[in-house]
Structure 1
């Protein structure tokens, strides 16, 4: 990436010439977005160049309307800063860019989250859902449940057989057999429950959707901020809960049950919602591995850092092993 393009982008903001521009994960993220740490005196920022064609129009609308209002209420998150022309997302050289305040700390990914960290994460998420629901809410079918139902239908037809025999590169063949074998055993009963859930109407609000543990940053035991809102959409908040708690469940067996207790203290969780969260989590354990096989095999997606891909696959395999025990 040429430095003059980065300087050209930064001139769209009310900040002076940066003292230092450091690539964070240029070309390494699963989304393909490029990130830089921008140092201007004692002020730190994160500059993001979005992947070509991203974010989608509906997500752009949610990012620019919902996040500023939530940020103004004091919740720590990576909210885009206004440019000199007043926009939160700017287009330069055919790509969308944004600049946000730097989030200090680090995520808890490959170790067990502490109880205090889990409580802080759930309090943050409950606060986010409460505030997001005040900004925008509706009633409707869940897009994420419909997507999982459609993926399940395709797997039932003949995709699983194709995935089992596809010549993958860069991943352990035993993981392929694990993902395909587990999905083939679970899809029967699971698809019935998924179809029933997808046929119901739910209260919808602007969920984060891609809320992995990698995106929740801590300073000691407190959440210092949450990053990456590139998958925002109107859906049930149960999706966010299942996604984040499922990540923490990989290293902490009580993460889901304990996390829901902390969340419930700020935003009540009904029994029906608990069942839906459980269904989402079952869907992740059952479908996540084969979804990666589809991306890496038939769809031929290219990921620049296969070590990160394999780490994600191993985390999925660990959840499968736990469900079998």
Structure 2
């Protein structure tokens, strides 16, 4: 979440008039994240989130994202619900951008998750995968292994300005992962971006999952690999195997991993780290002038890649059976 597009009061008022959400009392931009323009809306009927879609989000993909959120909620998963206009449409346009209003979820994200948070996240991830099993639409992962070389090409010339020898490290990782990337693993709907700021807790209970705008059809174990990267590393760059074990065990309590998924987990974790390093690197080098946005540090994932290069078995992430 971020603010790339400033919205004049008059334009916002005209847009909100299409909805039955009461009178606007206040609104403010949300600076966290890097993908879309987001505003917190407070009205006489409650709180909402307004999103204007920017950058990597293709307008043609929006029916998938919005339909998925409605589908998951109908299966009991706590996630934002698109608010429809008086005419019954979920998607509108504001300041030349596709835009949607979604419901607000209670809870807070945790910056430093503990073992219990990781365990709760593992259960929630398996629940998401189960809830999406009968979702009819499909969307290929636009940021899977085939997309990484074009991303690197966009940043390669300036990569060493961010960190010494980053370009050469990335070349080696990219070549190895392109050769070793697993195919044919069990899959379906995945979130593909379930970082700590996209999960809300009340106490140690998951109260909601948000930001489904990278959701796609891909391997379930890749989604787990993304979460291991995002939740189980400490501030000093070390991997916390206890957290990994809690997450994997909770996931497997609802959906046991198949042998091929277990074998592929080290490659999937390394690939997930490279994917986020590359997108962060491109964003780091291309922040629009004047944008209210905080680009995320690509070197966090460069450090995680250093760990993954040494891993050869899923047990090193905490898997055991």
Q: Please report how far the alpha carbon of residue 205 of structure 1 lies from its aligned counterpart in structure 2 after TM superposition.
A: 2.1
Gaps of 5+ in 1: none
Q: 1:18 and 2:4 equivalent? A: no
Q: 1:70–1:125: structure 2 CA closer, same or farther, 3 Å change rule?
A: same
RMSD: 3.3
Aligned partners of 1:212 and 1:244 also within 8 Å:
yes
Q: Which residue of 2 aligns with 1:95?
A: 97
SS of residue paired to 1:83: coil
Q: 1:119–1:72: structure 2 CA closer, same or farther, 3 Å change rule?
A: same
Q: Which residue of 1 aligns with 2:272?
A: 284
Q: Which residue of 1 aligns with 2:116?
A: 116
Aligned partners of 1:90 and 1:98 also within 8 Å:
yes
Q: 1:177 and 2:148 equivalent? A: no
Aligned partners of 1:77 and 1:103 also within 8 Å:
yes
Count of aligned pairs? 299
Matches within 5 A, 1:173-212: 173=161, 175-177=162-164, 179-187=166-174, 189-194=176-181, 197=182, 200-212=183-195
Q: Which residue of 2 aligns with 1:219?
A: 202
Q: Please report how far the alpha carbon of residue 308 of structure 1 lies from its aligned counterpart in structure 2 after TM superposition.
A: 3.3
Gaps of 5+ in 2: 1-6, 311-321
Q: 1:265 and 2:253 equivalent? A: yes
Q: Which residue of 1 aligns with 2:223?
A: 240
Write the distance in 2 (CA, Å) between the matches of 1:285 and 1:178.
17
Please identify, of 231-240 and 126-135, the stretch whose mean Cα deviation from structure 2 is larger.
231-240
Task: Give the number of the structure whose residues are more often helix, by fraction.
Answer: 1
Q: 1:96–1:187: structure 2 CA closer, same or farther, 3 Å change rule?
A: closer
Write the distance in 2 (CA, Å) between the matches of 1:101 and 1:308.
24
SS of residue paired to 2:178: helix
Q: 1:319 and 2:304 equivalent? A: yes
Q: Please report how far the alpha carbon of residue 80 of structure 1 lies from its aligned counterpart in structure 2 after TM superposition.
A: 1.1
Q: Please report how far the alpha carbon of residue 2 of structure 1 lies from its aligned counterpart in structure 2 after TM superposition.
A: 1.0
Write the distance in 2 (CA, Å) between the matches of 1:78 and 1:143.
21
Matches within 5 A, 1:19-58: 19-25=25-31, 29-31=33-35, 33-41=36-44, 43-51=46-54, 54-57=57-60
Aligned partners of 1:66 and 1:135 also within 8 Å:
yes
Question: CA offsets, 1:231-281, max 9 Å, x none?
Answer: 222222223221122111222512333311101111221121233333221
Write the distance in 2 (CA, Å) between the matches of 1:303 and 1:227.
28
Aligned partners of 1:179 and 1:289 also within 8 Å:
no
Question: CA offsets, 1:101-135, max 9 Å, x none?
Answer: 212333233x2x12221122121111111011122
Aligned partners of 1:179 and 1:290 also within 8 Å:
no
Aligned partners of 1:81 and 1:88 also within 8 Å:
yes
SS of residue paired to 1:106: coil
Write the distance in 2 (CA, Å) between the matches of 1:44 and 1:307.
22
Give TM-score, length-normalised by structure 1: 0.78
